[in-house]
Amino acid sequence: MNRAALVALAPSTEELHGLAPPAQLEAAAKQIRATISAIEEDGREPDEWEAAKISDACNAMAHGMWFLAISECVLAVEAPEARLLQPTPLHQMPTTLGELRALELRCYQLAPRQQ
């Protein structure tokens, strides 16, 4: 998989905001399709991370959240060693406020800081 080419395909925030909504939809769909095709060209099925991120991208696209859809595709193609969190199986998803707060804190601690 050519990760750099897939990331380069993603429009910048400015480019995406400069497009009309139908073109934003097409940009998101193009990114999702390219991500799926890259996995297919590798001759394999997606791993859990890729499947979760592509599913999130499709859901974001369905809700008109074009930038989020594209961002999820960029995350989907991260090298395995660069992934900060692994997807959580549905039966292990946080279901209480305490679990959600713990997840948010962990993600907050992992988030990059501006220097």
Q: Check if the beta carbon of residue 88 is closer than 8 Å to that of residue 106.
A: no
Residue 111 lies in a domain: no
Residue 50 lies in a domain: yes
Residue 114 lies in a domain: no
Residue 70 lies in a domain: yes
pLDDT tops 70 at residue 87: no
Residue 88 lies in a domain: no
Q: Domain range holding 48?
A: 3-83
Residue 51 lies in a domain: yes
User: Can you tell me the distance from the alpha carbon of 79 to that of 4, in angstroms, rounded to the nearest whole number?
Assistant: 11
User: Can you tell me the distance from the alpha carbon of 54 to that of 98, in angstroms, rounded to the nearest whole number?
Assistant: 27
DSSP state, residue 62: H
Instruction: Supply the pLDDT for residue 67.
Output: 95
Residue 44 lies in a domain: yes
Render pLDDT for 24-82 as a digit per residue (tens, 0 to 9): 999 999 999 999 999 999 999 999 889 889 999 998 999 889 999 999 999 999 998 88
Give me the half-sphere count of Cα atoms (radius 13 Å) on the Cβ side of residue 56.
17
Instruction: Supply the pLDDT for residue 2.
Output: 92
Instruction: Supply the pLDDT for residue 39.
Output: 94
Whether the model clears a pTM of 0.85, i.e. scores above it, the answer is: no
**More reliable by pLDDT, 106 or 85:** 106
Instruction: Supply the pLDDT for residue 115.
Output: 60
Residue that the structure tokens 């750099």 belong to: 4
Total tally of structural domains belonging to the chain = 1
| b/e code 75-104 from CB counts within 10 Å (16+ = b) | bbbeeeeeeeeebeeeeeeeeeeeeeeeee
Residue 64 lies in a domain: yes
